[in-house]
Copies of this chain bind each other. A is one copy, B any other.
């Protein structure tokens, strides 16, 4: 792992690093906050997955998560949202290609060689964290925002032994039924919608996946993507029918941006700290 930058922050260290990823075949960047408490004991880790057009930096500089992570004793890791580079396929649109990996392993050309963000987050990233940071073994949570909320719900439902806590902020919950998801899944996975179900949180619940812990979701009601792209009520209804514990909190007046994320990030990190304390 190469160090891009490290800065002291709330007593701990906020760093940006890069490494040669075997999953994506590219150099991947990630941001890691390690509280000062980690110099004395190993700590739980929360992985934060970002949304469309983000890199590892947006969350790191805008969410104000470090204060809460320092108070709660959590290491927080934010990876980039896709492979990047001149040799990596891309699309001029903000919602496909670089910056828009959708946390899937692509099956279609030209995306399949590098767009393997599911394997990256489910396999390579946890091993990388465990090897390089003072993580308490087995204590790993996952959360995300928008496209990253989709990633967190899918990874949390499929990798239950790996992730001890799951939450999402303004997530895409039913990608197979909304424009962002249909566009991305058509490109990355191809036209056979049966192959999309492994990457659709609502379909996973309908297919029988369950977690014992509560899925915590927060959603702003002034979010301009709420009705067309996000539709958390579809996922909440599927969870209720299936008996999956879910806590969907709606926030009047809040939009889709990082001022909303900053407002609720403390509650989310507390949710993870409480669940991961039991692991």
Task: Report A's interface with B, CB cutoff 8 A.
Answer: 7-11, 14, 61-62, 64, 66-67, 220, 222, 251, 253-255, 257-260, 262-263
Contact = CB atoms under 8 A, between A and B. Distances in A.
A255 B14 CA distance: 11
Contact of A64 (B14, B67, B251): B67
Contacts of A254: 7-8
A59 to B, nearest CB: 12
A172 to B, nearest CB: 20
A225 to B, nearest CB: 14
A61 B262 CA distance: 10
B64 A8 contact: no
A31 to B, nearest CB: 11
A66 B262 CA distance: 9
Given A61-B62, A64-B64, 15 more contacts: A7-B255, A7-B257, A7-B259, A8-B220, A8-B254, A8-B263, A9-B262, A10-B262, A10-B263, A14-B259, A62-B62, A64-B262, A66-B259, A66-B262, A67-B67
A253 B36 CA distance: 12
A8 B264 CA distance: 12
Contacts of A262: 9-10, 64, 66-67
A258 B62 CA distance: 10
Given A61-B258, A258-B61, A9 B66 contact: no
Given A61-B61, A62-B61, A62-B62, A260 B8 contact: yes
